[in-house]
């Protein structure tokens, strides 16, 4: 995909020393790529929504009728918020290495601070923050560039059609997302939409 200034400008850090607030960096081949500050912003926005959804799920149970893609199921009762939680976990698991995912899980899913992570994983403070930055940048890019349904921008994600069909349901059931959901204690979106 092509990154444009109109998209990156709003996401960039205005005092970034790399892009000076434009959000784009000129590569060696003469093409523009998103600055790391933009990728981290995207991750943080997506993560914020993930945390928010998880907290909300404890109290609210909202169902919305959505048009479903594919002929076999013309429509389905879906739960966008739960779907987003599942997607966030699944995409992260697929995109990160085992080592990165271990840190991601401790810090972002289980809420461990740097001290606890450092002790558990045997890394120092500097390495912890470097690794967190790398994870944020990696996932920020994946969340935006994911095809055909990116997790970002959130508006498009939440107003688009449901993507949980019979095929992805099978994948999710056996995947890490299911394990993560049990640990996080939020209900599986598949159990109810199946």
For residue 18, the minimal CB distance to Zn ion (Å) is 5
Coil, helix or strand for 139? Answer: helix
**137 or 162: CB nearest Zn ion:** 137
**19 or 131: CB nearest Zn ion:** 19
**35 or 96: CB nearest Zn ion:** 35
End-to-end CA distance of the chain: 33
In this structure, are residues 26 and 32 in contact, taking their beta carbons and an 8 Å threshold? Answer: yes
For residue 129, the minimal CB distance to Zn ion (Å) is 17
For residue 16, the minimal CB distance to Zn ion (Å) is 3
For residue 154, the minimal CB distance to Zn ion (Å) is 21
In this structure, are residues 175 and 74 in contact, taking their beta carbons and an 8 Å threshold? Answer: no
Radius of gyration of the chain from its Cα atoms, rounded to whole angstroms: 18
Query: What is the pairing mode between strands 32-34 and 24-26?
Result: antiparallel
**15 or 72: CB nearest Zn ion:** 15
**21 or 153: CB nearest Zn ion:** 21
For residue 19, the minimal CB distance to Zn ion (Å) is 3
- Give the residues lining the site for Zn ion (CB under 5 A): 12, 16, 18-19, 35, 37
> For residue 24, what are the β-bridge partners?
34
Q: Report CA-CA distances (Å) from 6 to 12, 22, 24, 138, 188.
A: 11, 9, 10, 21, 37
| Region class of 165: left (phi > 0), else alpha (psi between -120 and 50), else beta | beta
């Amino acid at each position: 995909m092509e990154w444009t200034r109109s998209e990156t400008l709003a996401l960039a850090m205005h005092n970034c020393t790399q892009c000076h607030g434009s959000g784009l960096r000129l590569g060696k081949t003469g093409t523009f790529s998103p600055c790391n500050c933009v990728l981290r912003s995207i991750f943080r926005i997506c993560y914020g929504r993930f945390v928010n959804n998880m907290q909300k799920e404890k109290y609210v149970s909202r169902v919305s009728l959505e048009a479903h893609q594919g002929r076999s199921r013309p429509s389905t009762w879906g739960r966008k918020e739960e779907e987003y939680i599942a997607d966030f976990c699944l995409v992260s698991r697929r995109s990160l290495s085992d080592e990165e995912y271990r840190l991601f899980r401790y810090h972002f899913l289980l809420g461990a601070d740097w001290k606890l992570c450092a002790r558990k994983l045997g890394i120092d403070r500097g390495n912890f923050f470097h690794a967190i930055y790398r994870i944020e940048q990696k996932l920020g890019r994946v969340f935006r560039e994911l095809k055909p349904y990116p997790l970002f921008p959130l508006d498009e994600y939440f107003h688009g059609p449901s993507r949980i069909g019979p095929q992805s349901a099978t994948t999710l059931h056996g995947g890490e997302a299911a394990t993560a959901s049990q640990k996080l204690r939020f209900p599986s979106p598949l159990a109810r939409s199946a």
